[in-house]
């Protein structure tokens, strides 16, 4: 009787454990136990998904070092300004700047063995953030942004990441970088028109990280007075503009325009603008060379009041003379 009761209890307990394991209440001793490593957490999984590539690392980059079987070593490391990372239990830091993630893994492996922390470590390294290879695109672009120089990246690629050049952009792109041998900043100016034309592939500069791409807004020209569309006009071409181009942008002059126009130009150190007389009529009749205008100039096209007044008088006299003549004819 006792043997039968024990057999029944043992079978009942095994059945309960099987059902509970199937429902997720109790773990089954027959099922393999999954080790909860760092890559099993949602935050770490997201970081691994954002891995950026296999470019050489530099100061400020964020690395994820995974050491199999060593949870105390498996974590993220920020590369210090001198290009090193510090492992727990290690006596000295590990220099990693300039190495690819695979090379960093080999360096960390050798360091762990040399420091006698592990005998035969299995190390893998991924980059979570290439801060040392960041490129900023600012200014007159549709969407200013910061990108990482991962893979083969060129100037047009960076501009495309910023959704392209904005209409108010100036005539050039300014690229600041530290590519010189002495480490001093270098500034390269690239014509937007030449860059987009593709006639000179050398203008599409290769980017390696650390550059600032700036697209300044175009300087302005102000056209006022006796023109069809007075207003503010951006100077999108290299070398500025001229009087005739300004007239073309403002759709030409209106009737009764004065023979001379005036340019009001800012002068360094002066409180008032300098007034420059423009022989407008002679320029339009090609009897004088076209005049160059500078950014920020105000081009004033005055109206000839005497001509306008004379036209008004003639306009009033003409109907009166016609009606008088008609009346005389009828009276006779």
pLDDT band at 332 (very low <50, low <70, confident <90, very high): very low
In the prediction, which pLDDT does 251 show? 94
**pLDDT at position 38 over 80:** no
Sequence-separated (6 or more) residues with CB below 8 Å from residue 253: 226, 227, 228, 247, 280, 301
In the prediction, which pLDDT does 240 show? 74
In the prediction, which pLDDT does 182 show? 59
Range in 48-57, 58-67, 114-123 with the lowest mean pLDDT: 48-57
Whole-angstrom distance, CA of residue 301 vs CA of residue 306: 15
What spatial distance separates the first Cα and last Cα of the chain, rounded to whole Å?
Answer: 155
**pLDDT at position 161 over 90:** yes
Q: Which domains does the chain have, with CATH numbers?
A: 38-129 (3.30.1950.10), 132-215 (3.10.560.10), 220-306 (3.10.560.10)
pLDDT band at 16 (very low <50, low <70, confident <90, very high): very low
Rounded to an integer, the average pLDDT of 32-40 is: 37
Nearest C-alpha neighbor of 159 from the set 235, 218, 215, 211: 215
In the prediction, which pLDDT does 225 show? 93
E strand map for the chain? 62-67, 75-78, 84-85, 94-95, 123-129, 134-139, 145-148, 153-154, 172-177, 186-191, 206-207, 212-215, 220-225, 231-234, 241-242, 261-265, 274-278, 292-293, 298-301
Phi, psi of 84 (to 5 degrees): -130, 165
Tokens of 266: 């800012």
**pLDDT at position 29 over 80:** no
**pLDDT at position 152 over 80:** yes
Tokens of 138: 């600012």
3-state secondary structure of 253: strand
Rounded to an integer, the average pLDDT of 132-153 is: 90
**pLDDT at position 104 over 90:** yes
Whole-angstrom distance, CA of residue 10 vs CA of residue 191: 86
Rounded to an integer, the average pLDDT of 53-76 is: 90
Percent of the chain exceeding pLDDT 70 equals 74
pLDDT band at 329 (very low <50, low <70, confident <90, very high): very low
**pLDDT at position 139 over 90:** yes
Nearest C-alpha neighbor of 278 from the set 295, 257, 296: 257
In the prediction, which pLDDT does 64 show? 95
Instruction: Please report which residue ranges of the chain form alpha helices under DSSP H.
Output: 2-23, 42-49, 101-114, 155-161, 192-197, 243-249, 280-284, 305-331
Tokens of 110: 């050798």
4-12: long-range contacts at Cβ-Cβ below 8 A with a sequence spacing of 24 or more?
none
What does pLDDT average to over the chain? Answer: 80
Range in 126-130, 136-140, 222-226, 315-319 with the lowest mean pLDDT: 315-319
pLDDT band at 15 (very low <50, low <70, confident <90, very high): very low
Nearest C-alpha neighbor of 38 from the set 63, 85, 71: 71
pLDDT band at 273 (very low <50, low <70, confident <90, very high): very high
Angstrom distances, CA of residue 32 to CA of 24, 28, 35: 14, 8, 9
3-state secondary structure of 3: helix
The string of pLDDT tens digits covering residues 229-259 is 999 998 887 777 899 999 999 999 999 899 9
Reported residue count of the chain is 332
């Amino acid at each position: 009787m006792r043997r039968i009761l024990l057999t029944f209890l043992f079978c009942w307990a095994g059945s309960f454990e099987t059902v509970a394991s199937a429902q997720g209440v109790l773990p089954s001793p027959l099922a393999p136990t999954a080790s909860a490593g760092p890559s099993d957490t949602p935050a770490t999984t997201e970081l691994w998904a954002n891995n950026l590539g296999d470019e050489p690392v530099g100061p400020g980059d964020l690395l994820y070092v995974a050491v199999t079987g060593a949870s105390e070593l498996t974590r993220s490391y920020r590369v210090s300004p001198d290009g090193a990372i510090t492992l727990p239990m290690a006596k000295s830091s590990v220099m990693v700047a300039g190495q690819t993630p695979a090379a960093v893994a080999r360096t960390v492996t050798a360091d762990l063995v040399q420091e006698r922390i592990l005998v035969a470590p299995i190390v893998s390294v991924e980059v979570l953030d290439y801060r040392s290879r960041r490129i900023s695109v600012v200014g007159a672009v549709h969407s200013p942004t910061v990108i990482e120089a991962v893979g083969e990246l060129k100037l047009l690629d960076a501009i495309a990441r910023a959704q392209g050049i904005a209409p108010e952009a100036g005539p050039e792109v300014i690229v600041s970088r530290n590519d010189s041998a002495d480490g001093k900043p270098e500034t390269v100016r690239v014509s937007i028109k030449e860059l987009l034309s593709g006639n000179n592939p050398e203008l599409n500069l290769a980017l390696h990280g650390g550059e600032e791409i700036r697209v300044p807004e175009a300087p302005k020209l102000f056209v006022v007075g006796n023109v069809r569309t007075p207003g503010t006009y951006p100077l999108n071409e290299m070398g500025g503009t001229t009087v005739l181009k300004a007239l073309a942008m403002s759709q030409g002059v209106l009737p009764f325009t004065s023979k001379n126009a005036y340019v009001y130009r800012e002068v360094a150190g002066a409180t008032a603008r300098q007034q420059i007389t423009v022989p407008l009529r002679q320029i339009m009749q090609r009897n004088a060379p076209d005049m160059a205008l500078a950014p920020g100039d105000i081009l004033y096209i005055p109206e000839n009041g005497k001509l306008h007044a004379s036209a008004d008088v003639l306009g009033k006299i003409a109907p009166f003379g016609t009606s008088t003549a008609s009346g005389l004819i009828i009276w006779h």
